[in-house]
Amino acid sequence: MKKKLIVFSLVYLLIVPGFVAAKKDTIKDFPKSSLGLDLASFTKLGEKLVEFSIFSIDVYVVSYYEKVSKDVSKARAINLNYKMNVSRSLSIKGWNEGFKWMNKSEKNKYKKAIKWIHDSTGDLLKRDNLTIFVVEGITTLKRNNKTIAVTGDPLVGEIILGPWVGEKPIREDVRKALLGK
């Protein structure tokens, strides 16, 4: 029995890193430009402290950036600078709140995109920076300047910035502040 447990443990240790390596290989398949994205080449349009509940608990400072150049038609980015620890489950609740505007047909259309966003969401700690880049149909997520997820699904790019700057944001005052209105 002990031998089987040891063999199983060794097999498990050999297999699990393979899954991690596969994810890294998937990220490497995207253009280098999507992996080397940096906010320094973008222009900040606005910023807003986002608070939660009647007690005004500081959650994060959100900043919105755009970049227009001859190489790229339009690149957009959101940076979230966390002021408190936020668990994955709370972040997913936040995403779901941001997608409440969708009717049944839209939820079906964006089902895979929403799943990718949920799957790419992790726990965030106080002082973490989560940056979401959308450049020419490629969405790149970075945590503290390290790429954590990339997708070429254009539907992800259509909805991922929506909770802050979309036509139906969670809070209109945040949208106005981010767009400099």
pLDDT for position 131: 96
> Distances from the Cα of 160 to the Cαs of 25, 69, 71, 117, in angstroms?
23, 22, 23, 8
Domain that holds residue 6: 1-30
Q: Do 8 and 56 belong together in one domain? A: no
- The answer, yes or no, to whether residue 36 has pLDDT greater than 90, is no
Residues 8-12 have a mean pLDDT of 32
- The answer, yes or no, to whether residue 7 has pLDDT greater than 50, is no
Give the CATH number, domain containing residue 126: 3.50.70.10
Q: Do 172 and 135 belong together in one domain? A: yes
Residues 15-39 have a mean pLDDT of 47
Q: Do 102 and 151 belong together in one domain? A: yes
Q: Do 53 and 18 belong together in one domain? A: no
- The answer, yes or no, to whether residue 73 has pLDDT greater than 60, is yes
Number of structural domains (the chain) is 2
Residue 100 β-bridge partners: none
Q: Do 136 and 112 belong together in one domain? A: yes
- The answer, yes or no, to whether residue 108 has pLDDT greater than 60, is yes
The predicted-structure confidence for 43-63, as pLDDT tens digits, reads as follows: 999 999 998 876 688 999 999
Q: Do 1 and 63 belong together in one domain? A: no
